[in-house]
Every structure is written in structure tokens, then in C-alpha cells.
């Protein structure tokens, strides 16, 4: 496994990688969710490239950039065991030199949900993913359903800007108690860690109502709210039942729906989602 930092080193190694090349973009502090993307890439691609970069432009000034968990040595160890070919760990000076001034903006699908709660977040995400795709030039790129809106936004960008890459979305990997894996789970104190199961409990309660025939979106939102009401440590930011492609809120579920939630557990902001049916 090669580990490179500079663009020059990356391009030098990239020339000799067999196609198809699969890219897995990450912010590090890897867990089984990330590794499931690496394994999917390993299955489908001749060469697997993983990027590790905590992207400052997708954090607002009030968010957790400075405390975001990092452990490069452990990450490299895990990736080596997965048979990754190349790891790119650029610095922020490489990605955003002092005279940096070009951005990628996706319009409609970045407006609701995470986009409404985290202004500027997706501008940072689309710009960094565009830069990663341009630098690595993979044939396939792997993302997690855990960040549902991010997958919609990336698909839109890839389509709109004619990136010659196939976007693959992999299922959310969960802990045994169904908490969606996330690097940010490391922030949770023991009582908060227990309370954090409320996200999947709320989503699964709505899914059960759906499976019992409920198609009214508002009643599904209320089902989720009722579960959160039982958890004193949870402070809900949004509860959504939206069209999985446009992310517009639904009145009635006709075919598909994306149920998604953003919730503070103490100071830690968690998101989770499921697709219906
Ligand atoms: P991050 O390091 O949080 O930026 O995540 C890197 C990639 O891993 C993104 O495409 C995420 O959607 C994906 N990912 C994060 N958590 C999970 C999870 N629990 N299951 C599947 N994919 C995940």
C-alpha cells in the first residue's frame, strides 16, 4: 500500500494503477462503515484509492473541525489489511492554497435538510469531492447511504458536470444496537451513547407504521417525534419524510420516501435515515 501526500506524488503513482480505479473519500477515524465502502470498491475495482482529508470548508466556524477525531496511524493499518492500493492524505495547504478561489455549487438539492441547518456545508462538500475526483480520476466512487443528502448532491454534481465516474451508494452500517456508525459517535458520553439509539428507534418505528399501511407523511413524522419525546437527552433539529430524489417534503408516500432525522444528543449532532419501502 502506497501512502502519498502531494499532488505530484499522487499523479506519479496514479499513472500505474490498473482500471477500473475505485475511490473512497473519507475524513478518517475509520470505522466499519468506511471499511464497507472499501470492501465494495475492492470487489468491483482493480485498484482501490482511499483519501483521508478532514475538509475544513465543510465545517462552519461553530462546528467541530478542531476537535474532529483523528488517528492516521490506525487508519493506515486498517486500510492496509483491506488490501487498499493507494492512500492519499493531502494537507489543507495542498487542497486550499492561499490563493484558492474556485467553488462548486449545486443548487436545489442542497437547500433543505442538512443544507438548511448547515449553511455552506455542501459548498465545501461538492468542492472537495470535485477536487478529489479531478485529482484521482477514478472510474467508480463509493459513498455511504448514511449521508443520504450528500449522495443525492454528489450524484447531481456528477451528472451536471459530466464527471466520467460511476457513483456507488453503499448501505448504512450500524452498531449491534442499530446506532449508525459515525466518527462523531466517539464524542458521546456513556449515557448519551445509550440515548443515541433513539434515532434508529424513531426511524424504525415509522418504518413499522409504513409497513402496516400508513402512507400519510405527517403521521409518520409524528410517529418519529413521539419516540424522540421519550428521550430527554435528545434535541431534534429536523424530522423529514421527503422524496428520495428531489428531497422535497411529501404529503403522501406514493412510491418511495426518504425518512431522515438530525438530532443533538448533548453537544453531539447525529444524523440517520432510512429509505422506504
Ligand atoms: P466521513 O469520513 O464521515 O466523511 O465518511 C466517508 C464516507 O463514509 C461517506 O461516504 C459516508 O457516507 C460513509 N459512511 C460514514 N458512515 C457510514 C456508515 N455507518 N455506513 C456506511 N457508510 C458510511
Please tell me if the CB atom of residue 33 comes closer than 6 angstroms to any atom of ligand 1.
yes
Cell of 10: 499522487
- At residue 185, the 3 state secondary structure works out as helix
Mean pLDDT of 175-181: 98
Q: Kindly report, residue by residue over 215-272, the tens digit of the pLDDT.
A: 999 999 999 999 999 999 999 999 999 999 999 999 999 999 999 999 999 999 999 9
For ligand 1, atom 13: residue with the closest CA: 144
Q: Where are the alpha helices (DSSP H) in the chain?
A: 7-14, 32-44, 72-81, 92-95, 114-117, 121-136, 148-160, 190-195, 198-211, 217-229
How many other CB atoms are found less than 10 A from the CB of residue 275? 15
Q: 214 CA to middle of ligand 1, Å? A: 30
Q: 25 CA to middle of ligand 1, Å? A: 9
Beta pairing, strands 21-26 & 140-144: parallel
Return the ligand 1 atom nearest residue 143 CA: 10
pLDDT attached to residue 171: 98
State the pLDDT confidence band at 179, using cuts at 50, 70 and 90: very high
For residues 241 and 259, is the Cβ–Cβ distance under 8 A?
A: yes
User: What is the set of active-site residues?
Assistant: 34
pLDDT attached to residue 252: 98
Please tell me if the CB atom of residue 170 comes closer than 6 angstroms to any atom of ligand 1.
yes
pLDDT attached to residue 103: 99
> pTM surpassing 0.85?
yes
Q: Kindly report, residue by residue over 33-88, the tens digit of the pLDDT.
A: 999 999 999 999 999 999 999 999 999 999 999 999 999 999 999 999 999 999 99
CA 225/CA 203 separation, integer angstroms = 10
Q: What does the chain come to in residues? A: 277
Q: Kindly report, residue by residue over 193-217, the tens digit of the pLDDT.
A: 999 999 999 999 999 999 999 999 9
- To test the pocket of ligand 1, the residue of 29, 34, 133, 165 to mutate (highest count of ligand atoms within 8 Å of its CB) is 34
For residues 242 and 112, is the Cβ–Cβ distance under 8 A?
A: yes
Q: Whose grid coordinates read 424513531?
A: 202
Cell of 265: 444528543
Mean pLDDT of 167-175: 99
Cell of 173: 452500517
Q: Of 240, 239, 237, nearest to 268 (Cα)?
A: 237
Output phi, psi for 241, to 5 deg: -130, 100
Cell of 259: 425518512
Q: 144 CA to middle of ligand 1, Å? A: 5
Return the ligand 1 atom nearest residue 34 CA: 8
Return the ligand 1 atom nearest residue 184 CA: 3
Beta pairing, strands 86-88 & 234-242: unpaired
Domains and CATH numbers, the chain: 2-170 (3.40.50.620), 183-276 (3.30.1300.10)
Q: 31 CA to middle of ligand 1, Å? A: 9
pLDDT attached to residue 84: 99
- If DSSP states are collapsed to H, E and C, what string results for 94-113? HHCCCCCCCCCCCCHHHCCC
For ligand 1, atom 10: residue with the closest CA: 143
Cell of 159: 451528472
pLDDT attached to residue 113: 98
Q: Of 213, 275, 209, 208, nearest to 244 (Cα)?
A: 275
Amino acid at each position: 500500500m502506497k501512502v502519498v501526500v502531494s499532488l505530484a506524488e499522487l499523479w506519479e503513482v496514479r499513472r500505474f494503477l490498473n482500471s477500473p480505479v475505485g475511490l473512497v473519500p473519507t475524513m478518517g477515524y475509520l470505522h466499519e462503515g468506511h471499511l464497507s465502502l472499501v470492501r465494495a470498491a475492492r470487489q468491483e475495482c482493480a485498484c482501490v484509492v482511499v483519501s483521508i482529508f478532514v475538509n475544513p470548508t465543510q465545517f462552519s466556524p461553530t462546528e467541530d473541525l478542531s476537535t474532529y477525531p483523528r488517528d492516521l496511524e490506525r487508519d493506515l493499518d486498517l486500510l492496509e489489511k483491506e488490501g487498499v492500493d493507494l492512500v492519499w492524505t493531502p494537507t489543507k495547504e495542498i487542497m486550499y492554497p492561499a490563493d484558492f478561489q474556485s467553488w462548486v455549487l449545486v443548487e436545489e438539492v442542497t437547500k433543505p435538510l442538512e443544507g438548511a441547518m448547515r449553511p455552506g456545508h455542501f459548498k465545501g462538500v461538492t468542492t472537495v469531492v470535485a477536487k478529489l475526483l479531478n485529482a484521482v480520476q477514478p472510474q467508480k466512487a463509493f459513498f455511504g447511504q448514511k449521508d443520504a443528502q450528500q449522495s443525492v448532491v454528489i450524484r447531481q454534481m456528477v451528472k451536471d458536470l459530466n464527471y466520467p465516474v460511476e457513483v456507488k451508494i453503499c448501505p448504512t452500517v450500524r452498531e449491534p444496537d442499530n446506532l449508525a456508525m459515525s466518527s462523531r459517535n466517539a464524542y458521546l458520553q456513556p449515557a448519551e451513547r445509550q440515548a443515541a439509539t433513539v434515532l434508529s428507534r424513531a426511524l424504525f418505528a415509522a418504518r413499522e407504521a409504513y409497513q402496516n399501511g400508513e402512507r400519510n407523511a405527517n403521521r409518520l413524522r409524528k410517529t418519529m417525534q413521539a419516540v424522540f419525546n421519550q428521550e430527554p437527552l435528545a434535541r431534534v433539529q429536523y424530522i423529514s419524510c421527503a422524496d428520495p430524489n428531489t428531497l422535497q417534503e411529501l404529503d403522501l408516500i406514493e412510491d418511495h420516501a426518504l425518512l431522515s432525522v438530525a438530532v443533538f444528543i448533548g453537544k453531539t449532532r447525529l444524523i440517520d435515515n432510512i429509505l422506504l419501502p
